[in-house]
Structure 1
Amino acid sequence: MLFAVLFEDDNNCAADVRTRYMPAHLDFLSTHASMIRAAGPLRQHEGSGAGGLWLVDADSADEVDRLVKTDPFWPTGLRRSVRILIWKQVFADGARL
C-alpha cells in the first residue's frame, strides 16, 4: 500500500538543526529506500523550508509511523506535525493508470 507522508516543520526550531542532522537524515532515507519511494522538502517560497513529503510503500499506517519516528530529524523538534495518508496513484507520465 502506498502512503503520502506530509511533514510540517517548526519555524521556531533553530535554523542549524536541519543543517546539522541532514547527513544522518539522507543516510536514513538511503537505508530505507526499499520503503521510501520518494522524498523531498516542501517550501512556501525560495529558501524557506516548510516541511517535507515522502511516498512510502508499507503494509500499514502504523508501520509508516514507526518508520517516521526512527528518522534522525524526529527527536530534534524540527517536525511540528506529520500526516500519514493512504495514496493511490491514478495518473503518471501523461497517462491514466
Structure 2
Amino acid sequence: MTERFDTVNIRGRTDREHVGTKLHHTLEGSTAMLFVARFTDNPGIAERRDELLQEHFAWLANNDSVLVAGSLRGEVGGESLGGLWIIEADSMEDAEAAFQTDPFFANGLRASVELYHYVKANPERTVTL
C-alpha cells in the first residue's frame, strides 16, 4: 500500500470462513469475487476534489471492475467525506490494484481505505441502481 495513508485496513485475508474458498457470483460468465472499498477523504480537500471530479468520473466510467461507486456524506447535501465502491476482482490484491490509478487516490485525496471481501446475501435477488 501507499505510505501516505494513516490507516489501511484490508480485511478478508484472515476471514477464516472464506480463506482458501472461492465464494463467487456469476456475472456474464465471470467467476470473480466481490469486494467493498470504503474510502475516507483527507480533511480540507474540497477544492482539489472539485478540480479532479470530472477526471474521477471519466476514470470510473472506463473502469469495468468498479460496479458501483458513490460518495459518503454525514448528512443529506453535506460535504463528501469519502466513498464506497463495490469492486469485481479475482483476488483481494486485484481489488486493491483497481483503485490505485483513480485520480482521487493517485492525487492523495484519500486518507484511508478499508477493503473487504463481500458476499451478497440472497444471491438470486438482482439489484439495479
TM-score tier after normalising by the smaller chain length:
0.7 to 0.9
Match of 2:67 in 1: 37
After the TM superposition, which parts of structure 1 deviate over 3 Å for at least 4 consecutive aligned residues?
A: none
TM-score, length-scaled by structure 1: 0.86
Aligned position for 1:66: 97
Identity %: 33
Does residue 1:4 correspond to 2:36, yes or no? yes
CA separation in 1, counterparts of 2:98 and 2:41? 17
- TM-score, scaled to structure 2: 0.66
- Greater helix share, structure number: 1
Kept after mapping to 1: 8 A contact 2:35/2:118: yes
Quote the RMSD (CA, aligned, Å). Answer: 1.7
After TM superposition, list the pairs within 5 Å mapping 1:1-97 onto structure 2.
1-13=33-45, 15-32=46-63, 34-45=64-75, 46-91=77-122, 92=125
Q: Whose radius of gyration is greater, 1 or 2?
A: 2
Whichever residue aligns with residue 58 of structure 2, its letter is: D
Q: Give the structure with the larger strand fraction.
A: 1
Aligned residues: 92
Q: Deviations over 1:49-96 (max 9, x none)?
A: 110000011001111111111101112221000111000110457xxx
* Unpaired stretches in structure 2, ≥5 consecutive residues: 1-32
CA distance in 2, matches of 1:28, 1:18: 14
CA contact (8 A) 1:17 1:76 kept: no
**How far apart in 2 are the matches of 1:12 and 1:19?**
12
